[in-house]
Amino acid sequence: MLFEVLLYPLAGFFMKISDDAQDEKNNIIVGAVTGLISVMALGYLAVTSSDAATIFLGILLGTLLAGKVDNWGHIITLIIFLVILTIWGIPELGIVTLALCLAAAYGDEVGNDNDWLVGKRKLTLFFRYRFVLKLTVLLLALGGLIQKFYPGVLIPGVSFFQPETFIYFLLFDLAYEMAGIVFNTLYDGLNRNIRRLS
């Protein structure tokens, strides 16, 4: 439990720094270093928790389908993530649960960049903060809570999440958003330090 509380936000924080370093600053070195930190945390979570594996594989496949894996940094971190899963294996996943997370992540990505949302403030915020996936994770966590009290509640192909998974995912997302807010300050500091080392 302690590892999840630390690794979910760590992964989210460095994922955002990596994304912005590559997308906004065109800095492959900072993007690669922070992306590597993020993917190592994600890899550990994915091989030790079926909930994390389902969520992050869903995000990975959803962003891939939406055409968001669009630079070398994304491709390299994707490959590293898949290598980690191949070597250490992943826990058993519910295929329907994975499909739900994939569809939610895809919906968030497509909705976030859609021109028809211009002028629709509430919908823009809904997709900007990736609420489709948040609501999906919440429903799966509520299903897991119900299952604790009624173990006979089973749906073929659906692996409900542990209730605390929703909290962990919120920590991931909060750290991601916080990194975006303080990106320029962090980027300048990281860039300076990496230049000193090279």
Mean pLDDT, to the nearest integer, of 106-129?
A: 70
What does the DSSP 8-state code read for residue 116?
A: G
Residue 54, pLDDT score: 96
| Residue (of 26, 25, 81, 16) closest to 53 by Cα position | 81
- In which band, very low, low, confident or very high, does the pLDDT at 52 lie, cut at 50, 70 and 90? very high
Q: What is the residue type of 171?
A: L
- In which band, very low, low, confident or very high, does the pLDDT at 121 lie, cut at 50, 70 and 90? low
Q: 74 and 109 in contact (C-beta within 8 Å)?
A: no
Q: What is the pLDDT of residues 139-190, one digit of tens each?
A: 999 999 999 888 887 788 889 999 999 999 999 999 998 998 888 777 777 6
Q: 183 and 16 in contact (C-beta within 8 Å)?
A: yes
Q: Which residues contact 39 (CB under 8 A, 6 or more apart)?
A: 77, 80, 81, 84
Residue 110, pLDDT score: 80
Residue 114, pLDDT score: 65
Q: Where are the domains of the chain?
A: 2-197
Q: Which residues contact 32 (CB under 8 A, 6 or more apart)?
A: 18, 73, 76
Cα 80–Cα 62–Cα 117 angle in degrees, nearest 5: 135
- 102 or 30, higher pLDDT: 102
Residue 73 has pLDDT above 80, yes or no: no
Q: What is the residue type of 97?
A: T
Residue 1, pLDDT score: 64
SS3 52: helix
Residue 76, pLDDT score: 84
- In which band, very low, low, confident or very high, does the pLDDT at 45 lie, cut at 50, 70 and 90? very high
pLDDT more than 70, % of the chain: 87
Task: Tell me how far the alpha carbon of residue 103 is from its chain's centroid.
Answer: 14
d(CA 121, CA 123): 6
